[in-house]
């Protein structure tokens, strides 16, 4: 039985200091350190389950390891069963939505498109239920924002398929939801910031705004390897290769964690442009 170690629902979702530190390790792609710390911590179990699942998902997506993928898939199934046994409420619906979305991304990365579509459809349904029943529960804005953008950016010729699945979305609506979360005091606001500027740059092609956004995030999180990686990508897209190279050097100094081979490609591209 999961326990929340508190009374009532926290509509913001603020982690305690110890779990916040682990969450930052996860977002900095230092998954092994995060796993070790998670095995020892006593905290709100819903919060812990979220961070643990996020850690495993990032690990599987970046490492592209089939063995890890299979192990994590087994954990997903066990967690869904555990969540089904809990008293209904916003936190349970949010976790059911978020874990299904993470599972969908894992399926996509391993070429299992059919399974991915059904996982994302499940995430969509749980998200809609949570939004309808608990509109003041802020964390669901993250899951909903991502799904809205995903569906809203599907080419027009495939809209019939989305309608067939009972899903509809809007990039603008998704951005508004992420904006609400990133301006809140929730522990998930840093993820909302990362997602917000990623969408600005890669989907809306507002590359200059995204570049500036990631550079601002780095002022607050200078050692965060995920933000460094995304900022480097955006600066290269924005023809700011010299600035990108400085951040690559900074990333070299923070090498602990999951390897990011794509950085070596970007480094080579920049050096080639310089004739070096």
Domain count, the chain: 1
Mean predicted lDDT score pLDDT of the chain: 91
Q: Is 195 contained in some domain?
A: no
Q: Is 194 contained in some domain?
A: no
Q: Is 242 contained in some domain?
A: yes
Per-residue pLDDT band at 64 (split at 50, 70, 90): confident
pLDDT of residue 8: 60
DSSP single-letter state for residue 156:
G
* Number of helices and strands in the chain (H, E): 14, 0
Per-residue pLDDT band at 55 (split at 50, 70, 90): very high
Residue 245 tokens read as 């190279």
In contact, 218 and 224? CB cutoff 8 Å: yes
Q: Is 266 contained in some domain?
A: yes
pLDDT of residue 165: 82
pLDDT of residue 150: 92
Q: Is 171 contained in some domain?
A: no
pLDDT of residue 3: 56
Tens of pLDDT, residue by residue over 105-123, are: 999 988 898 899 999 999 9
Per-residue pLDDT band at 6 (split at 50, 70, 90): very low
Backbone angles phi, psi at 174, to 5 degrees: -60, -40
Per-residue pLDDT band at 2 (split at 50, 70, 90): low
Q: Is 68 contained in some domain?
A: no
Angle between helices 140-152 and 171-182 (to 10 degrees): 160
Evaluate if residue 156 carries a pLDDT over 80.
Answer: no
pLDDT of residue 71: 87
Q: Is 85 contained in some domain?
A: no
Q: Is 239 contained in some domain?
A: yes
Evaluate if residue 43 carries a pLDDT over 80.
Answer: yes
User: Which residue range is the domain that position 262 belongs to?
Assistant: 214-276
pLDDT of residue 7: 44
């Amino acid at each position: 039985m999961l326990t929340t170690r508190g009374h009532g629902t926290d509509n913001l979702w603020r982690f305690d200091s110890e779990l916040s530190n682990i969450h930052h390790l996860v977002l900095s792609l230092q998954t092994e350190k995060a796993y070790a710390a998670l095995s020892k911590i006593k905290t709100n179990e819903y919060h812990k389950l979220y961070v643990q699942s996020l850690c495993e998902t990032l690990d599987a997506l970046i490492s592209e390891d089939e063995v890890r993928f299979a192990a994590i898939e087994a954990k997903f199934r066990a967690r869904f069963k555990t969540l089904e046994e809990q008293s209904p409420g916003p936190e349970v619906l949010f976790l059911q939505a978020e874990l299904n979305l993470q599972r969908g991304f894992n399926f996509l990365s391993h070429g299992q498109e059919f399974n991915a579509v059904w996982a994302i459809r499940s995430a969509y349904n749980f998200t809609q239920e949570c939004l309808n029943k608990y509109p003041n529960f802020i964390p669901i804005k993250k899951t909903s924002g991502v799904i809205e953008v995903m569906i809203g950016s599907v080419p027009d010729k495939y809209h019939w398929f989305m309608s067939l699945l009972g899903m509809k979305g809007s990039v603008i609506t998704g951005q508004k939801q992420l904006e609400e979360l990133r301006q809140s005091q929730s522990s998930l606001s840093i993820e909302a910031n990362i997602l917000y500027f990623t969408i600005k740059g890669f989907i809306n092609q507002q590359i200059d705004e995204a570049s500036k956004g990631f550079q601002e995030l780095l002022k607050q999180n200078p050692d965060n390897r995920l933000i460094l990686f995304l900022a480097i990508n955006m600066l290269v897209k924005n023809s700011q290769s010299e600035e990108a190279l400085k951040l690559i050097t900074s990333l070299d100094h923070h090498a602990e964690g999951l390897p990011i081979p794509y950085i070596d490609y970007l480094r080579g591209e920049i050096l080639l442009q310089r004739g070096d």
